[in-house]
Amino acid sequence: MKTHFSVLTAFTLLWVLLDLACPASAQTLYENGPINGQVIAWTINFGFNPTDSFTIANSNSTIGGFAFGAWLLPGDVLESAEVSISTEPYGGTSYFDGTVNFTASGCFENFQGFNVCTETGTFNGPTLSAGTYWLELSNAVTVEGNPVYWDENNGVGCHSLGCPSTALDSSDGTIPSEAFSMLGSQSGTGTTPEPISLVLFASGALGVVEWIRRYGASD
């Protein structure tokens, strides 16, 4: 059974820089804009698995990590999630599919009482050619076994080639895209990726009313 609830937001704009716990040598290969943290988020466990597109600007780019905005119930901690990278949403050629451990940083409490954190994980990912790929999150595990949600930001404030991302949810179909960054290194030619320290921010909504969104979870 899925849990539904509506969200009403009318908040003054607030930007908070969130530090990322990644090696200093990591570069941002793609970013889909700042964490919002105040509107909605999408479940990444209990059978739900949203997926977002991302574009690699330079050939011979090696994925070495991933950071995203997560909503957690107070006191809970994200331990791991399944991360998949492929050429198509929920299909195509698979380049990576594995369990990744995450470390939280820059957490704050939003107006709904959730802890919103930058969750960063490192892994030995694939070396990709320039092009568009799909990132899928699923099977998240927390210390207390609660739902975990991927922050929706609709790509507002993104700067990478190909942004904002296109996104899908396994239950609801097309959705606005989420806050995340693909991290790693590149040896091709083209635009130099942004430093990792400039990637994820959090913001409140400015005079926006958001209604009728749900956070799917199982009883």
- The yes-or-no verdict on residue 213 having pLDDT over 60 is no
Number of domains in the chain: 1
Q: Is residue 217 in some structural domain?
A: no
Residue 215: inside a domain: no
What's the confidence (pLDDT) of residue 25? 58
User: Could you tell me if residue 143 is inside a domain?
Assistant: yes
Is 214 a domain residue? no
> Contact 163/32 with Cβ under 8 angstroms?
yes
pLDDT digits (tens, 9 = 90+) for 3-28: 333 333 333 223 333 333 444 457 99
* Domain span holding position 87: 15-203
Quick check: 187 pLDDT over 90? no
pTM of the model: 0.79
Per-residue pLDDT for 150 more than 60?
yes
In a domain, 129, yes or no: yes
